């Protein structure tokens, strides 16, 4: 899957491709270089990563579309977006969405948190469901203010790509 990452202070986001390469292993391609990454989530929430033979303990703190990444005592703020999110940002810059909005799984994974209940009033950008995929948690947000009219996501269940999770009207 292709992501675009922009470090705080950089003008442009750079593409980063992440592909599964076995259990807890990924191929990460950035700047024309490919790295083999072994990733294991530790009990206290940090991720132990082995990148081309070098070990790192990495902590992530999601703050909206940004992620604070702590590695070896240095914290970096990174704006991370997949191609879909970039298109949504561009599309919503001038107008807001109307009508029923279906929020579906952008990739196969596991629902780790359901942040709303059916009937809840939600704000645009409010978190609805958290999905874990490739050892990363992705918070799916409401594309508009409205009411949760359908809630199909259930915690600790596996979902396939494009699985229907929430409908906001």
Whichever domain contains 10, its CATH number is: 3.30.700.30
Residue 7 tokens, joined:
């470090």
Of 58, 82, 106, which marks where a domain is finished? 82
Answer yes or no: is 89 within a domain: no
Answer yes or no: is 90 within a domain: no
Whether the pTM exceeds 0.75: the reply is: no
> Beta strands of 8-107 (E only): which ranges?
14-20, 25-30, 33-41, 47-51, 54-63, 66-71, 74-82, 101-104
C-alpha–C-alpha distance, residues 81 and 148, integer Å? 24
Parallel, antiparallel or unpaired: strands 25-30 and 74-82 = unpaired
Answer yes or no: is 91 within a domain: no
Q: Taking a C-beta distance cutoff of 8 angstroms, is the pair 82, 112 a contact?
A: no
Q: What pLDDT digit, counting tens, does each position of 114-159 carry?
A: 999 999 999 988 999 999 887 788 889 998 899 999 999 999 999 9
What is the number of domains present in the chain? 2
User: In terms of residue numbers, what domain contains 69?
Assistant: 2-82
Answer yes or no: is 88 within a domain: no
Answer yes or no: is 87 within a domain: no
Torsion sign across C-alpha atoms 73, 79, 83, 85: positive
Return the higher-pLDDT residue of 70 and 97: 70
Answer yes or no: is 150 within a domain: yes
Answer yes or no: is 23 within a domain: yes
């Amino acid at each position: 899957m292709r992501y675009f990452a922009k470090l705080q202070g950089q003008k442009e986001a750079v593409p980063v491709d992440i592909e599964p390469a076995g259990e807890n292993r990924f191929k990460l391609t950035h700047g024309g270089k490919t790295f083999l990454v072994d990733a294991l989530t530790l009990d206290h929430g940090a991720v132990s990563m082995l990148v081309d033979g070098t070990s790192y303990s990495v902590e992530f703190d999601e703050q909206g579309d940004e992620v604070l990444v702590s590695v070896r005592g240095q914290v970096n703020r990174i704006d991370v977006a997949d191609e879909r999110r970039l298109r949504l940002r561009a599309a919503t810059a001038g107008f807001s969405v109307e009508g029923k909005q279906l929020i579906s799984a952008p990739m196969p994974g596991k629902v780790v948190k359901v942040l709303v209940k059916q009937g809840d009033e939600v704000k645009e950008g409010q978190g609805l469901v958290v999905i874990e995929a490739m050892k990363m948690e992705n918070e799916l947000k409401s594309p508009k203010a409205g009411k949760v009219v359908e809630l199909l996501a259930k915690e600790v269940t596996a979902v396939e790509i494009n699985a229907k999770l929430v409908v906001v009207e």
